[in-house]
Chain A
Amino acid sequence: QKVTVEVLDRLEHLALVDFRDAEGVERLQKAIQFADQLHEVNTDGVEPMDSVLEDRCLYLREDDVTEGNCRNELLKNAREKVEEYFVAPPGNIPLPKLEERETFLQGF
């Protein structure tokens, strides 16, 4: 069962990461094949495990401000900023569709 171009395209959209070449797509195919071995295991009646610490209560601290006031420190690492803002390119513009995007998947 090969992964369809539609799904590959969807993954590039969701992950915002590209397959780059046939090897990248093959890598995913192999990963799925490998993961399919899980279906050999009988998990009837077994609850999924989120964390090994599931029997304990996570620590919750008091809702008090104890740190902060480090705006300058944090802004230091951003490449594009204006005064106290991180600057992003225009939002609400979806990634171009497959046909219009520069992606290896175009030729697929």
Chain B
Amino acid sequence: ALKGGSRFQVSAALKEGRVTPTELCQRCLSLIKSTKFLNAYITVAEETALKQAEESEKRYGRGQPLGVLDGIPVAVKDNFNTAGIETTCASNMLKGYISPYNATVVQKLLDQGAVLLGKTNLDEFAMGSGSTDGVFGPVRNPWSYSRQYKEKSVPKSHSEDEESNWVITGGSSGGSAAAVSSFTCFAALGSDTGGSTRNPAAHCGVVGLKPTYGLISRHGLIPLVNSMDVPGILTRCVDDAAVVLGTLAGHDPKDSTTIQDNFKPFELPNLTDVSKLSIGIPKEYHAPGLSSEILSLWSKAADLFKNAGAKVIEVSLPHTRYSIVCYHVLCTAEVASNMARFDGLEYGHRSDMNKSTESMYAATRREGFNDVVRGRILSGNYFLLKQNYENYFVKAQKVRRLIANDFVKVFGSGVDILLTPTTLSDAVPYMEFIKEDNRTRSAQDDILTQAANMAGLPAISVPTGLSERGLPVGLQFIGQSFQEKQLLTVAKWFEKQVKFPMIELEVKRHNHGAFQHQKSASLS
């Protein structure tokens, strides 16, 4: 009965003693077990979670909770280091790797009393847009098992039905999105380099926030692209995202790319008057392949703001269509560099080959990385060759500046927030998704999210409506650097207007036959 409530509501329940942290933890752990088929979790830290819940309970007993997050079950994407808990990045390279330290963001959550349930599944080393390319298998979108999706599916043969019809979560933070969407936790950490938090958020019907680059520490987040990576936040509502942001944001001496400005956590006001707001609609985001459904939803959203008195204008970000190409070059180049640390010597998988250091490294990496990772490393090295450096890497860095400047110009002209679609379509069935290779998919799927990473801007995907197939569609708001409060305030207003429906999950308990759906009542 608690699962529908936002974290705020659950916090109130914890404070008032209507539910205890251990009860909450146990329910989430039990739900994780019954939704195992989603494959959202790689590691479930049952023992430590229960211990944390017990500690939290003692604090509530003394009337001294650490804060709003005390006792709240959370999940963390498996590319964040967690002390004592395996961190694999869904790769053979790190299977069995137990980190000696917590990523700063993980430590911050724990310091606030959050209960860490486990590590969530992803594409190997966060490379991908489907959460299908990790060594632990693909993540299934919980909406595949929703009444809303099932009643819209054309029934094929009974045996085929659920097994072949399930849809992807999007990626690469699919496990985290699925975990939040299926109520097994109240908030989850993802990462976002090209859209990896916003994409699965849109497909799974949850809120996905990409903060401004430099706001949240990357210390302990296994890096992909140092100049674009950010930790991402996935929650069921915008208010919750604001609270988690408040816990995580701020300078970290261990990450020198975090800005030193003082960060003040904020509560989101309940915006009623949007007449002073200027919303920009970038025309280039009407990208080829954008489904007519999403186009229509986007248009309706623009009208929503217009009818409420906001100024809604079409704007242009002329270099948008090059952002994917630019990303492709910069990403593979930084990946080539970042993946060099995996050589088997100090941690991770090590090959038995021992003829020479170089051959051991080569064999280790041959055995440890999947095709996608190896492909990006090789491409990156190609672009970084002396003969290619100017023409590809430096060229891409110049195009990056043009992309970032597009945004500067638009925001400088008086636009407050940009409104765009997050994805080109609703979630596709897994069987269809795997027909194209990872790079092609990523290039297609990241088109609408990538530019925000190029420019370092904050962006959020808010669940907006259901598609004709009964699957979630999200819309994206892009804000100005370090203006998360304004961004989230507008997102919250929008969330209130669209009233996105709750997922009606139908979870079968194999031992006990069909189980009634997890329809949840909020607590407020």
List A residues at the B interface (Cβ < 8 Å).
Answer: 3, 7, 10-12, 14-20, 23-24, 27-28, 30-32, 34-35, 37-41, 43, 46-53, 56, 58-61, 70, 73-74, 76-80, 86, 88-91, 93-96
Across-interface contacts of B404 in A (CB, < 8 A) = 49, 52
Q: A38 near B325 (CB under 8 angstroms)?
A: yes
Docked CA distance A35–B369 (Å) = 23
A sample of 25 inter-chain contacts (CB < 8 A) reads: A10-B385, A14-B381, A14-B385, A27-B439, A31-B332, A31-B375, A34-B439, A38-B325, A38-B395, A43-B398, A47-B401, A49-B398, A49-B400, A52-B456, A53-B213, A53-B456, A58-B257, A74-B100, A74-B346, A76-B100, A77-B346, A77-B348, A86-B345, A89-B357, A91-B358
**B365: which of A7, A17, A34, A48 is its contact (CB, 8 Å)?**
A17
Interface: B397 (CB within 8 A): yes
Q: B356 near A89 (CB under 8 angstroms)?
A: yes
Docked CA distance A49–B319 (Å) = 15
Docked CA distance A10–B322 (Å) = 29
Segment 427-469 of B: residues with Cβ below 8 Å from A: 437, 439, 443, 455-456
Across-interface contacts of A3 in B (CB, < 8 A) = 382
> Are A91 and B394 CB-contacts (below 8 A) given A53-B213, A58-B256?
no
Across-interface contacts of B379 in A (CB, < 8 A) = 27-28, 31-32
Interface: B241 (CB within 8 A): no
Per-residue contact bits, chain B 240-255, to A (CB 8 Å; 1 contact, 0 not): 0000000000010100
Docked CA distance A74–B399 (Å) = 41
Across-interface contacts of A15 in B (CB, < 8 A) = 336, 377-378, 381
Interface: B361 (CB within 8 A): yes
Interface: B275 (CB within 8 A): no
Q: A24 near B371 (CB under 8 angstroms)?
A: yes
Q: B402 near A46 (CB under 8 angstroms)?
A: yes
Per-residue contact bits, chain B 100-112, to A (CB 8 Å; 1 contact, 0 not): 1000000000000
Interface: B362 (CB within 8 A): yes
Give the interface SS of chain A, mostly helix, strand, loop or mixed.
loop
Docked CA distance A24–B382 (Å) = 13
Interface: B347 (CB within 8 A): yes
Docked CA distance A90–B355 (Å) = 7
Q: B257 near A51 (CB under 8 angstroms)?
A: yes
In angstroms, how far is the closest chain B Cβ from the Cβ of A77? 4
Q: A41 near B319 (CB under 8 angstroms)?
A: yes
Across-interface contacts of A76 in B (CB, < 8 A) = 98, 100
Across-interface contacts of B375 in A (CB, < 8 A) = 24, 27-28, 31
Across-interface contacts of A14 in B (CB, < 8 A) = 381, 385
Per-residue contact bits, chain B 396-435, to A (CB 8 Å; 1 contact, 0 not): 1111111010000000000000000000000000000000
Docked CA distance A43–B393 (Å) = 13
Q: B328 near A31 (CB under 8 angstroms)?
A: yes
> Are A30 and B402 CB-contacts (below 8 A) given A20-B374, A35-B383?
no
Per-residue contact bits, chain B 343-365, to A (CB 8 Å; 1 contact, 0 not): 11111101001111111111001
Q: A88 near B360 (CB under 8 angstroms)?
A: yes
Interface: B48 (CB within 8 A): no
Q: B397 near A50 (CB under 8 angstroms)?
A: yes
Docked CA distance A86–B455 (Å) = 41
Across-interface contacts of A73 in B (CB, < 8 A) = 100
**A49: which of B253, B329, B397 is its contact (CB, 8 Å)?**
B397
Across-interface contacts of A58 in B (CB, < 8 A) = 256-257
